[in-house]
A and B are shown apart, each in its own frame.
Chain A
Amino acid sequence: MTSDFGIVAFGAYVPRLRIDRAIIADAHGWMAPALKAAARGSRAFRSWDEDAVTMAVEAARDCLRVTGRESAESLYLASTSLPYADLQNGAIVAEALRISPAIRAIDLAGSQRAGTSALLQAFRGGEAALVVASDAPTARPASARELGYGAGAAAFAFGRGELVARLLGCASRTVAFVDHFRSAGEKFDYFWEERWIRDEGYLKLVPGAIAAALADAGLEAADISCMVMPSLVRGASVAVARKAGLKAALASELDDGCGYAGAAHAPLMLANALAQAAPGDRLLVIGFGQGVDALILEVGTAGLQEGQRGVAGALADGLATDSYLRMLSFYDGIELEWGMRAERSSKTALSEQNRSSGQTAGFVAGACGACGTVQFPRLEYCVNPQCLASADRFTEVPLADAPARLLTHTADWLSYHPAPPLHVGFVQFDNGARLLMEVVDVGPEGVEIGTPLRMVYRIKERDRPRGYNRYFWKSTPIAAQGRSDG
């Protein structure tokens, strides 16, 4: 019997910022010349104002362009780099996405396998769900991981109807195999020897899980057309496929332009593979970390739709950067002298945040019930001097996906900003709303008056002494999309 339940839509996000691995290796050439050999292509890195929450929002937005916001009953957020230990990260994501509060949100963390476990949970749950895996692992400078790591997020909507993919079978193994670990509160992972991880970890644990998943699906190894398996250790996927007797193609590990994105990496690779697969293809998805998740999916007829970026679109939307120290400073890998202006308090009044979340979390303007003027922020009276009606009859106008252009602009070198200069300007929405906003991910070509913009969810301010991020929306030039296509 064929199930009509499964993945109905998917989306992806990879941070725009990229750096050639050779630049990183060059910076360490004095003490780790061997890094140079592995320094091929570029990796993605998160900007200072991106984290697992913001990337999750962006991937989910890409996915929700297809399914809309109302359908999901549960939200799974998987990551090993969630900003909060006690504050449900998925709730922040749900609010930014303006998903109904009736949703059940669950954070999955603590393992490289969190992403595939979330997918498995949704497949087995059988209800409309949104799965988002988002991760930005950070590695100690001059480690091999620093070159190999990247960042990104993938989102999958589950439901019934025309399917992107259905689950044919699955198997899991849980083994406390400690190839690496990161204690709570530590910045970096501690790794054991790679060859040992490959031989005693991947090669001893994964083939058995694959065999069990094939048995569960009633399939043979030859029935698998593509294996989706990230290798935290170089060459692990090739060795596993050989040992498991698979003749399948190996899905791209997104090495160039992205890099290993932690618990989000298998889901990201899956999102990429799904965009390239043909209906009927059978994908084997492997998650590895204190055991194995093995999922066998059959590709359906639904694919990426117009307006979605997917992994390929996100990879093409890169912004080449040339400073290794900038990347380091973005994840506090280096302590720079930011001057006294950086001492300014960034404390958030949580009561104010709660009061204004209807406007700020999901970026929702108001349209005046009397004169129709669209305005952000919504204050007590309509801003139109000819109207001045009470805000009681305002209707909500979401701005996150509304078309907008740059009206004024400057690049501010004086303000404290973790990525100077601070690009700031008035953003004019086609619907009439206007507000002063940050402009992020501006390339060397800069921005001009009239530059088309899209909105992105970012950290507005980091309150370092208290460890609290205040999130809000920023604008970014649309034109940079596909810039690196040529």
Chain B
Amino acid sequence: MASGIKDKVAILGMGCSKFGERWDAGAPALMREAFDEALADAAIEREAIEAAWFGCCFDAVNVGNSAIPASTALRLDGIPVSRVENMCATGTEALRSAAYAVASGAVDIALAIGAEKLKDTGYGGLPQPYKGTFNDMWLPVNSAPAGFAQLASGYRARHGIARDELKRAIAHVSWKSHQNGVLSPKAHLRKAVSMETILEAPMIADPLGLYDCCGVSDGAACAIVTTPEIARSLGKTELVTIKAIQLSISSGVESTMSEWDGSHVPNTRRAVRRAYAEAGIEKPRDELDLIEVHDCFSITELVTMEDLFLSEEGQAVRDVLDGFYDREGPGVPCQVDGGLKCFGHPIGASGLRMAYEIYTQLLGRAGERQLDSPSIGLTHNLGGVPFQGIAAISILGLK
């Protein structure tokens, strides 16, 4: 196996816009917020950036396709800029591309920026992605919550869990994130929500109610990466390095063959196994200090706890209800910034927003929500749907 990129790439600076219903800001303005913060953090001039990757998902309601919207917004003149898109894993894809460019020695300093302007659609929820002319012929036109809600039926069938018990566990997932979001100034939703409100909310896709679904927001986040040596030469003393970035994408096995039982996301398991190996993590439940996972829907976060090998199979309900993933809990704090639940999910930005929180926590800059000296954290994105997924994992740590 290849040696991987562990500790070959350091984060020089990061930025994150305020997430929310940004009626005041288009995608270029959101990008600028994140980019200005990252440049200041990195303490470099924009001319030092040698290549950039721009992640955004919905070109139709956003900025249009290609990387030109990013290169013009940020005035990146003449350098290579590429647009990447891999559904909800888009942000992490941008980071992965920039990190690989630095690790390969192709460039010294690279930029990854993700942005999504979702609130120019005129309605709530995500736009319906185009699935191609052939899939149009046969694939049902269902929403994102409908794709993920089916995990609940599969999980219940596999583990023999009563509907009410699972509903309570996923409600706790959302309750916990709302508690955390209160402490997160850049989050979209910053209100605590009671369990009763969550449990009694209108149904979106059975059994997911309104509060089982993440918000829909505008936002941007970015990272400037370089080698640890260059970072030190630029005066950085405390370094956050990339320990692993892995991606796993479905070949159609789950949705076409008869083995998968609908209870978990095989791609997350495959991506994280490789990421733990790349980062040298053997006991994630003991070793990880915090995680930011893809809680597009509460059920996704719950099964992800097993897919990341943090909870034993069938035990995520118990761990969640025991508060293992709560901020003040005994275990691994999850979504300490409020997660997608409170930040919303501007697709292209989310993966980088998660990395921003890990980075901020590792450097002890998280203010009110700062955890007690964490040294390693994990982000998880899940694009597509559980049965045809794109799982992206990154692990960041102090060097």
Asked if A376 is an interface residue, CB under 8 A from chain B, the answer is yes
A410 touches B205 (CB 8 A): yes
A415-434 interface with B by 8 A CB criterion: 415-417, 421-422, 424-426, 428, 432-434
* Chain B residue with Cβ nearest A360: B137
* Chain B residue with Cβ nearest A381: B251
Produce 1/0 per residue, A360-385, CB < 8 A to B. Answer: 10000000000001011101000111
B137 touches A432 (CB 8 A): no
Query: Which 9 residue pairs are nearest across A and B when measured between Cβ atoms?
Result: A412-B146, A410-B149, A408-B150, A352-B133, A408-B262, A349-B133, A414-B143, A415-B143, A411-B206
B50–chain A nearest beta-carbon distance, Å: 38
B396–chain A nearest beta-carbon distance, Å: 31
A426 touches B256 (CB 8 A): no
Assess A375 versus B153: contact at CB under 8 Å? Given A383-B252, A415-B146, A424-B146.
no
Produce 1/0 per residue, B28-57, CB < 8 A to A. Answer: 000000000000000000000000000000
Give the residue among B122, B128, B253 with the most A Cβ atoms within 10 A: B128
Asked if A464 is an interface residue, CB under 8 A from chain B, the answer is no
CA distance A276 to B63 in the complex (A): 67
Assess A340 versus B123: contact at CB under 8 Å? Given A384-B257, A422-B146, A425-B150.
yes
CA distance A344 to B136 in the complex (A): 12
Residues of B within 8 Å of A65, CB to CB, are: none
Further 12 A-B residue pairs, CB within 8 A, beyond A410-B206, A411-B206, A449-B156: A341-B125, A352-B133, A384-B257, A410-B145, A410-B149, A422-B140, A425-B150, A426-B262, A433-B258, A435-B256, A436-B140, A460-B137
A472 touches B138 (CB 8 A): yes
B257 touches A432 (CB 8 A): yes
> A residues touching B (Cβ–Cβ < 8 Å)?
339-341, 344, 348-349, 352-353, 356, 359-360, 373, 375-377, 379, 383-385, 407-417, 421-422, 424-426, 428, 432-438, 449-450, 460-461, 470, 472-473
B373-391 interface with A by 8 A CB criterion: 387
Residues of B within 8 Å of A411, CB to CB, are: 203, 205-206
CA distance A383 to B143 in the complex (A): 25
Asked if B233 is an interface residue, CB under 8 A from chain A, the answer is no
B255–chain A nearest beta-carbon distance, Å: 6
B110-169 interface with A by 8 A CB criterion: 121-123, 125, 128, 133-134, 136-143, 145-146, 149-154, 156-157
A434 touches B140 (CB 8 A): no
Residues of A within 8 Å of B204, CB to CB, are: 412-414
A383–chain B nearest beta-carbon distance, Å: 4
Produce 1/0 per residue, B247-265, CB < 8 A to A. Answer: 0000111011110011000
B128 touches A341 (CB 8 A): yes
CA distance A413 to B208 in the complex (A): 10
A434 touches B206 (CB 8 A): no
Assess A409 versus B153: contact at CB under 8 Å? Given A348-B136, A383-B251, A415-B143.
yes
* Chain A residue with Cβ nearest B122: A340
Can you list 7 A-B contacts with CB-CB less than 8 angstroms, sorted by A residue number? Answer: A348-B137, A352-B133, A407-B262, A410-B150, A421-B205, A426-B262, A436-B142
Residues of B within 8 Å of A341, CB to CB, are: 123, 125, 128
B384–chain A nearest beta-carbon distance, Å: 12
Residues of A within 8 Å of B205, CB to CB, are: 410-414, 421
A434 touches B255 (CB 8 A): yes
CA distance A352 to B131 in the complex (A): 13
CA distance A416 to B157 in the complex (A): 28
A408 touches B258 (CB 8 A): no
A426 touches B128 (CB 8 A): no
B252 touches A414 (CB 8 A): no
CA distance A435 to B205 in the complex (A): 19
